[in-house]
Structures are given as C-alpha cells and as structure tokens.
Structure 1
Amino acid sequence: MTATDVWLPISADEIEGLPAPDESGLSYRHWDGGPDFPADPADCVFYVVPYMKGTEVSTRPLAAMTSVQVVQTLTAGIDHVEPGLGSLRAGVRLCNAKGVHEASTAELTLALILASLRGIPRFVEGQRQEEWRGGFYPALADKSVLIVGYGSIGVAIEDRLAPFECARVVRVARSARTAERGEVHALGDLPALLPEADVVILSTPLTEATHHLANAGFLARMKDGALLVNVARGPVVDTKALLAEAESGRIAAALDVTDPEPLPAGHPLWHAPGVLISPHVGGSSSAFLPRAKRLLAGQITRFAAAEPLRNVVLTTR
C-alpha cells in the first residue's frame, strides 16, 4: 500500500487551500508533538515539524519515517532537526520557513534595540517604584549598526532600520557578495568591523561556523558602550564571555535567545547589568499562524502536483 500521510502540527481543517484528500490522495494527520503518534510514521510522506518543541520532539518520529519525502520546518533555522537527519533515507528534502518569520523577527529586533538604548527597562522599574528617572539616553539615530547574518531576516532588519537615520549599516554573511543595498562582507572581516559598530545584531543560522561566534575575542573587539543584539540562536554567543563583559559594564546586550534555553531560574544572565532578555519570541507573533498556513498550503499543493518545492535547504544523501 502506498504511503500517503501528511503530518501537520495544525489541524488540516484550519488550513485554507490544502489539496482535497479525494483529489490528491493525501491523508492529513494532526500531530503537535504529543506522546502518541497519530498514525504509523512509516506511512508519512510529508512531515511538518511541530513548532518550537525542541530537538527531542522534532526528531522523535524521523527514524521510523521510512517513506518520508519532505521534512518541512516552521522555523527559519533547522538546527533542531539536523540531529535526526542521519536516520533518513537518501533524497529527502528539508525545507525551512523562509517568508514566515522575517517581519516578526525584524520587528522584535528593532524593539529590543530601542528599548535597550532608550532605557525602557529602567523606566519600567522606575514606574514600579514611583521614581522619575529622567536624563539623556542613547538614540538609534546616528549610530553605526552591524548586521551579522544577512539572509532574509537580516534584510528585513535593515528594511526596518531605514527610517531611523543610522549613520551606517554594515552587512556580514558567510561569504562576501554585493546585495541590493550594497556590499556584504564575509565573516572573516568581522575583526576589522566590530570596533566601529555601536550596535551589533546577530541574525545568523546556528552552524559549526557560527557556534560561539560571539566569543571572548569577538566581544572584546566591540567598542565600549556598544550593544549586542542576538535574535539568532543562543549558542551563537558564548554566555560565559558575555557575562564577563556585561558584568564589567563595558557592553550591553539584548537577547531574544540564550544558552541555555529556556534560561533557568537563578542563572546570572537574568540579573546581569545592561542585559535585556525576551523569551525567544522573535517569530511568535500574530503574524506567524496566517503566514505558516499559507506556506503549508503552498508547499503541500506543490508536493501533490509534483512541482518544485520552495525553501529547500538540503537533500539527504
């Protein structure tokens, strides 16, 4: 019997535009990471990974998915499923959620920058204590901003920086190239670029090359008073090295992601001076679900019609 199951973390009846089962031959199964599988994983041909459920849940059914042809994440990053890819047969396409999270993540990036520079956490605390904490605070205007990780999210961040009259926006990616807005530097150029940046934004995927990219040497090259913003993955930053810099008061940080994550109670990062933390909510906004549903409807429609899929990150060998 030919495998036809599509595993979805969102109920099929909530996704407009999915191919009809009687026309496509596909059967939709709802699984959002619960302890029980909705059907035999061996019958799954298209697996949509549950959103933000971690590596253990994301990879749990993979070894048994002997018929799977597509693994579709609802995240821009794929690091949470990579540990399970070795159990898949050759030819399985892994697709990410490019187009779903750019707006929300870029929006939060700007919110973190503005909140950190303009002293919003200090004002919130002052309001609780009924204290009027006036004075002069840094502005984003006239600052030099360095974006490390110039993929679709990095581009979206620069789109939103445009009205803020930054003195300069510098772009860095894995390799050098010329983008629509100008030069993109390679990662190897970072030592020369870091000392000139007032705000350093990390929006790079987590790979072997970017694990602890922001290490002690990286942070030491940042100028005094600079702000580090991490909307990538927690392990892109060496937490121990960041704590040393933050506790000295030399640099500040705004983090949507941490290492470890979730950040446990009692961890010194919670109370480090100049550190603002949000709980990995860059993509978790009202924009997520409509965009995720449109992505899935489009991808599964293309799959049913044997058309090329979008956002193919790799094909297993």
Structure 2
Amino acid sequence: MTPRPHALFAMSAENVPQLFPPDVLARLRASLDIDPALVAEDLTDPRLRDVLARTEILVTGWGCPRLDAAVLDAAPKLRAVLHSAGSVKGFATPELWRRGIAVSSAAAANAVPVAEYTLAMILLTGKDLLAARDRLRTERAFPGWGLVPGIGNHGRRVGVIGASRIGRKVIELLRPFDLAVSLTDPYVDEAGAAALGVPLLPLDDLLRTSDVVTVHAPETPETRHLVGRRELALMRDGAVLINTARGALVDHEALIAELRTGRLSAILDVTDPEPLPADSPLFDLPNAFITPHLAGSQGNEAARLGLAVAREAERLAAGEELAHPVDPGALEREA
C-alpha cells in the first residue's frame, strides 16, 4: 500500500471543523496523512520545523500565513497547496510557482452560494418583494387583491458585469427562467459569450438596457469605481444594482446620491469600506438592502469547500491532474 503524503493544515484553527466536518475529514484523511489537531496559524513557529520539513501537501484556508521564500525553504518536500476557500491572493507568492508547487483553489465551490444569493435577489426584486415587505410592515394593511403593475420576472432584462466563476454560474442558474440575460466583460469575445448563451454588450449599453445589473468583476486598479456616477446615471429608472463582488467596484458616494433620488435600488453584500461606518446613509435608505458579506459559503456550505479539497487530494493520491489549478497568469484578473 502506498503511504499517504504528509500534510498540514495552515489556516485559522477555528475554521477546520467548519470546512472539514467528520465525514469530509474522513475522506480527506483517506488520501492524506494529516492531523486535524495540528493547525498552523504561524508557519514560522520553531515548533513546526520538523513537521514542515516532511510536509508534502498544505491544506490552506482563511487565515493562512503568507507562503514566502522563507516558509517554502522550511518545507523542501512541499509539492502542492490545496486551498479550501476562494482567492489565494492573500497568501500565495510567485515563489510557489517558481518552485513548481501546484496550487488548487475551491473558488468554483465557493462561487455556488454567491450565485445562488444573486439569483434569489434577482427574482425577489423582480416581485418588488423587499419594498412590498417594508410597506406592509409600515402600513399594517393588506393592499387587496389584484394585479400589481410594473413588477414581475417575465422578460426582465438582467445585465451581468464580469464572466468570472461567479458571473458564469449566475448565467447558468438564470437559464431556466424567462429572463433576458446579457454580459459585459473586456476579456470575453463574441464567441465566448455565445458559448455562455448570452449576448455580449459594451458596459454602457448593458447599463442602459438592464432592469437588474449584477456585478461579478474582480477588484483591480482598473475596476475601482467601475460603476460610478456616470455609469449609475445610465441605468434606467427603477433598475436594481446588485454587488456581491468587491465594494470598491462601486462608487458609494455616487450610489448614495443616486439612491436618495429614489430612481434606483441597490442590494449590497459587499461595501467600501467594509464594514460600513455606523452612520452610513446606506443603512437607512429604504431602497438600499445591505447584507454583511454573507453571500459566500456560510454554515453547512463550508463543507462544500472542504469536499472540494478532499477530491483534489484524491486526485493527487491517484497521480491525476488537479481539477481546479490556479493559473498565476490570471490571478490579477480574478477576485
């Protein structure tokens, strides 16, 4: 029997039981020799010297220390990093790829709940549910039976900004519904959009023609305030802006000014800054719906991330290629 590779958890210790509940942990340990009681939060700790020296696989997650040259020097047998979360930007360094160390991410798994959140918000705002709930709560009177004009999801136009993993998953989840979905992304051509089953539009055209605009672009210097005063002014009256990407992609001062007119609505799971200051007008504006960065994996959804890592460990043990390798060349275009 081939011995299992030595592995080490490198993340905030509190996250391990959430990401790897007993059934997922058992599956991981079938492929890796890993001790769930030993979790490295500081890889420079001298007490980890002997463990690092024999570690072949790092199982990382939120709170993983930076993997710089000094850390990698202390782990000469390291050949793979399996990340049980989304972005690796917080800890990965170019040194990993220079040394030929494979890096995998559970970003695709983490995209699922964000896309589900987005889908739910698109459908609920189509029914004007959030505003209707507030009116009912305030007036304490049922408005009576009858057709409500101006709402509904039949033929509603949804514009997706960014064909990221999450953006693509949102497009996939929207397919069964009678919605008209379009995409804008400078890295996607007409053929790429056609493969996703949506038309490709310039950003301005997408903003002008969409009832809902949902943001799924990465945060880069070029995308800061991607949706600013000019872009918000292009959006049609009654449109909804949804942001589950990064807060800095939207100019909050411009958004607040627009929301105060009552012309638009916004659903923000991410803000700039994050968290918002207690006196932010966004908390009180009736057409702003703010959630505390919870669209990503929460509660039992975290186990999906651990399962993604367990599957990658099984591939390594079988001598197969990783299913979700991180491309260092594409990191700057990813969240």
Structure-1-length-normalised TM-score: 0.78
Matched, 1:110 2:110: no
Residues 126, 183 of structure 1: alpha-carbon distance in 2 compared, 3 angstrom cutoff? closer
Residue aligning to 2:183: 171
Matched, 1:220 2:229: no
Return the alpha-carbon distance in structure 2 between the equivalents of residues 252 and 65 of structure 1: 47
1:184 shift after superposition: 5.3
Return the alpha-carbon distance in structure 2 between the equivalents of residues 32 and 296 of structure 1: 17
| Contact 1:79–1:207 (CA under 8 A) maintained in structure 2 | no
Query: Which structure has the highest helix share of the two?
Result: 2
Residues 198, 263 of structure 1: alpha-carbon distance in 2 compared, 3 angstrom cutoff? same
Alpha-carbon displacement from aligned partner over 1:154-207 (angstroms, at most 9, x marks no partner): 2332233234322x2102233212443435537xx2122221111111122323
| Contact 1:116–1:276 (CA under 8 A) maintained in structure 2 | no
Residue aligning to 1:185: 200
Residue identity matched to 1:48: V
| Contact 2:243–2:270 (CA under 8 A) maintained in structure 1 | yes
Aligned pair count reads: 302
Residue aligning to 1:131: 140
Query: Which structure has the highest strand share of the two?
Result: 1
Residue aligning to 2:262: 249
| Contact 1:5–1:28 (CA under 8 A) maintained in structure 2 | no
Residue aligning to 2:84: 74
Unaligned stretches of 5+ residues in structure 2: 330-335
Return the alpha-carbon distance in structure 1 between the equivalents of residues 173 and 181 of structure 2: 12
| Contact 1:195–1:222 (CA under 8 A) maintained in structure 2 | yes
Q: Secondary structure at 2:220's aligned position in 1?
A: coil
| Contact 2:225–2:250 (CA under 8 A) maintained in structure 1 | yes
Spell out the pairing of 1:235-314 with structure 2 (5 A cutoff). 235-285=248-298, 288-314=301-327
Return the alpha-carbon distance in structure 2 between the equivalents of residues 214 and 255 of structure 1: 13
Q: Secondary structure at 1:282's aligned position in 2?
A: coil
| Contact 2:104–2:326 (CA under 8 A) maintained in structure 1 | yes
1:219 shift after superposition: 1.8
Q: Select the structure of larger CA radius of gyration.
A: 2
Return the alpha-carbon distance in structure 2 between the equivalents of residues 59 and 211 of structure 1: 27
Residues 92, 35 of structure 1: alpha-carbon distance in 2 compared, 3 angstrom cutoff? closer
Question: What percentage of aligned pairs have identical amino acids?
Answer: 29
Return the alpha-carbon distance in structure 2 between the equivalents of residues 133 and 32 of structure 1: 56
Return the alpha-carbon distance in structure 1 between the equivalents of residues 124 and 43 of structure 2: 40
Return the alpha-carbon distance in structure 2 between the equivalents of residues 184 and 31 of structure 1: 47
Return the alpha-carbon distance in structure 2 between the equivalents of residues 210 and 238 of structure 1: 11
Return the alpha-carbon distance in structure 2 between the equivalents of residues 61 and 86 of structure 1: 9
1:10 shift after superposition: 2.1
Residue identity matched to 2:272: D
Residue identity matched to 1:266: D
Q: Secondary structure at 2:153's aligned position in 1?
A: coil
Matched, 1:10 2:16: yes
1:256 shift after superposition: 1.4
| Contact 1:126–1:133 (CA under 8 A) maintained in structure 2 | no
Structure-2-length-normalised TM-score: 0.75
Return the alpha-carbon distance in structure 2 between the equivalents of residues 130 and 34 of structure 1: 55
Q: Secondary structure at 2:109's aligned position in 1?
A: coil
Alpha-carbon displacement from aligned partner over 1:210-257 (angstroms, at most 9, x marks no partner): 332222222222222211111112222222222222122222111111
| Contact 1:93–1:314 (CA under 8 A) maintained in structure 2 | no
| Contact 1:4–1:27 (CA under 8 A) maintained in structure 2 | no
| Contact 2:61–2:85 (CA under 8 A) maintained in structure 1 | no
1:20 shift after superposition: 4.3
| Contact 2:163–2:188 (CA under 8 A) maintained in structure 1 | no
Residue identity matched to 1:185: L
1:78 shift after superposition: 4.0
Residue aligning to 1:97: 106
Q: Compute the RMSD of aligned alpha carbons.
A: 3.4
Residue aligning to 1:54: none
| Contact 2:181–2:199 (CA under 8 A) maintained in structure 1 | no
